[in-house]
């Protein structure tokens, strides 16, 4: 059997080999993704599954519960011992080819807590509706990532004076030849940040297949679209990447949102998605819950941003007229999310309308109103829920 098998989700949610492969290459798995718990299925092919809110309650999102996001339907199975990473490009002096063993032994291992969030998280909550995967609030997770610094690898190859961008390719592939291969790039200065990793572990275990095994890119503080899974090639180039996924997809109206600039990919009309915006989620209680009057109930959730750090989380129960501070949990790193909690007043029967907003140390705060954009990105409005006190 080949060491690299490409599998895709079948119509019943199982995994079926494409008809061109022999019977020996076929793998069938019923219902759920192999190695994953019960996730919320948003699409079969490509596989897109989000995490239920209850599974986002822990500080670190479990590997088996972490959301799954693919643009292409052919998801690889790569043998760790035979995987190779090519480091090349017109602006790299000495090309490199690295094995997983090389990555682990040649470079200092770094462990970093960071939030991975799909750019379209909460797209399904946009009004009016926009096309795309209809995520609710579970296309996000926080994990401990371990790997080598990308800059250490690039510096070993030697950077040319004309280097502008670093390009990335992965091993997942489209079903149809006309579908663009998934490729992304980073500005050189971001790629050389000490926190950008080529990760091979997630929460003290090897990367799961559905989250990019055997190695993936970690770009903390930036949207998950840059976190290339099944990484196979890194190129240092003196020009902008012209791929569909940079020039056409993941674009925003110019000036519509705050965040880091990506000058070589910007036009007068649009700019690429880059950094996370300050955000929060309520993990419990669930909206619509019925609570007995007088019962002790704690509101709990998470807040995060692009790396400035969460300064405060506030809670309102009077239609956002007044706010009280929530209690923040332990700070486990600038790129991780921060837990928060607050007691709820259940002394009176009726509908309880709860709102939560987070504020970063840089002064940014969750907005009350949605900034509409046709791709459904950056839904970071104040989180709300309704409870019935009976």
- Residue 289 in domain: yes
Cβ proximity of 281 and 330 under 8 Å:
no
Do residues 192 and 262 both lie within one domain?
yes
Do residues 302 and 268 both lie within one domain?
no
pLDDT band at residue 32, thresholds of 50, 70 and 90?
low
Do residues 167 and 246 both lie within one domain?
yes
**Residue 20 has which token pair?**
């061109």
- The whole-number pLDDT of residue 25 equals 27
Full domain range(s) for residue 375: 279-389
Whole-angstrom distance, CA of residue 281 vs CA of residue 354? 12
Q: State the DSSP H helix or E strand holding residue 112, giving kind and residue range, or none if neither.
A: strand 109-117
- Given a cut of 90, is residue 118 above it in pLDDT? yes
- For residue range 190-206, list pLDDT tens digits in order: 999 999 999 999 999 99
Contacts of 189 (CB under 8 A, 6+ apart): none
Q: What is the chain's mean pLDDT, rounded?
A: 91
The total number of structural domains in the chain stands at 2
pLDDT band at residue 19, thresholds of 50, 70 and 90?
very low
- Residue 34 in domain: no
**Residue 44 has which token pair?**
């079969």
Question: Span 72-81, mean pLDDT?
Answer: 96
Do residues 292 and 374 both lie within one domain?
yes
- Residue 62 in domain: no
- Given a cut of 90, is residue 153 above it in pLDDT? yes
Q: How many CB atoms lie within 10 A of CB 390?
A: 11
Do residues 256 and 296 both lie within one domain?
no
Contacts of 287 (CB under 8 A, 6+ apart): 384, 385, 386, 387
Q: Kindly state the percentage of the chain with pLDDT values over 70.
A: 92
**Residue 275 has which token pair?**
């950094």
**DSSP track, 325-390:** EPEE-----TTS-EEEEEEE--SS-EEEEEEEEEEETTS-B--SS----TT-----PPEEEEEEE-
**Domain end marker among 256, 272, 288:** 272
**Residue 175 has which token pair?**
């079903």
Cβ proximity of 29 and 35 under 8 Å:
no
- The whole-number pLDDT of residue 312 equals 98
- For residue range 261-320, list pLDDT tens digits in order: 999 999 999 999 999 999 999 999 999 999 999 999 999 999 999 999 999 999 999 999
- The whole-number pLDDT of residue 6 equals 35
- The whole-number pLDDT of residue 243 equals 95
- The whole-number pLDDT of residue 13 equals 33
Do residues 111 and 254 both lie within one domain?
yes
Do residues 209 and 253 both lie within one domain?
yes
Do residues 354 and 377 both lie within one domain?
yes
Provide the pairing of β-strand 140-149 with 197-202.
antiparallel
Q: Kindly state the percentage of the chain with pLDDT values over 90.
A: 91
- The whole-number pLDDT of residue 9 equals 34
- Residue 99 in domain: yes
Q: In this structure, what CATH number is given to the domain that contains residue 381?
A: 2.60.40.650
Q: State the DSSP H helix or E strand holding residue 201, giving kind and residue range, or none if neither.
A: strand 197-202
Q: In this structure, what CATH number is given to the domain that contains residue 179?
A: 3.90.420.10
């Amino acid at each position: 059997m080949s060491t690299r098998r490409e599998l895709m989700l079948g119509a019943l949610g199982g995994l079926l080999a494409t008809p061109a492969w022999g019977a020996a290459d076929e793998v069938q798995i019923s219902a759920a993704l192999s190695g994953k718990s019960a996730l919320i299925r948003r699409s079969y092919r490509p596989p897109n599954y989000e995490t239920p809110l209850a599974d986002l309650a822990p500080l670190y999102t479990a590997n088996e519960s972490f959301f799954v996001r693919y643009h292409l339907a052919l998801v690889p199975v790569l043998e760790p011992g035979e995987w190779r990473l090519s480091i090349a490009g017109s602006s790299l002096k000495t090309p490199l080819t690295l094995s997983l063993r090389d990555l682990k032994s040649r470079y200092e291992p770094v462990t970093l807590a960071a939030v991975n969030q799909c750019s379209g998280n909460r797209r399904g909550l946009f009004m009016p509706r926009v096309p795309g995967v209809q995520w609710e609030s579970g296309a996000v997770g926080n994990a401990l990532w371990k790997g080598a610094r990308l800059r250490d690898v690039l510096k070993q190859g030697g950077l040319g004076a004309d280097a502008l961008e670093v390009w990335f390719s992965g091993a997942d592939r489209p079903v149809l030849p006309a579908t663009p291969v998934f490729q992304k790039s980073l500005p050189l200065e971001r790629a050389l940040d000490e926190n950008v990793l080529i990760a091979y572990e997630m929460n003290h275990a090897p990367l799961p297949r559905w989250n990019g095994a055997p190695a993936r890119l970690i770009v903390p503080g930036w949207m998950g679209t840059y976190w290339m899974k099944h990484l196979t090639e890194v190129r240092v180039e003196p020009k902008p990447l012209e791929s569909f996924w940079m020039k056409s997809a993941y674009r925003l109206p110019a000036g519509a949102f705050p965040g880091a600039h990506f000058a070589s990919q910007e036009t007068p009309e649009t700019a690429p998605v880059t950094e996370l915006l300050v955000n929060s989620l309520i993990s419990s209680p669930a909206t619509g819950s019925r609570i007995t009057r007088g019962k002790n109930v704690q509101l709990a959730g998470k807040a995060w941003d692009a790396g400035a750090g969460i300064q405060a989380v506030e809670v309102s129960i009077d239609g956002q007229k007044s706010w009280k501070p929530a209690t923040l949990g332990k700070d486990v790193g600038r790129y991780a999310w921060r837990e928060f909690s607050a007691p709820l007043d259940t002394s009176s029967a009726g509908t309880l309308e709860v709102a939560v907003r987070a504020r970063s140390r840089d002064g940014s705060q969750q907005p009350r109103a949605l900034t509409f954009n046709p791709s459904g990105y950056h839904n970071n409005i104040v989180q709300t829920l309704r409870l019935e006190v009976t």
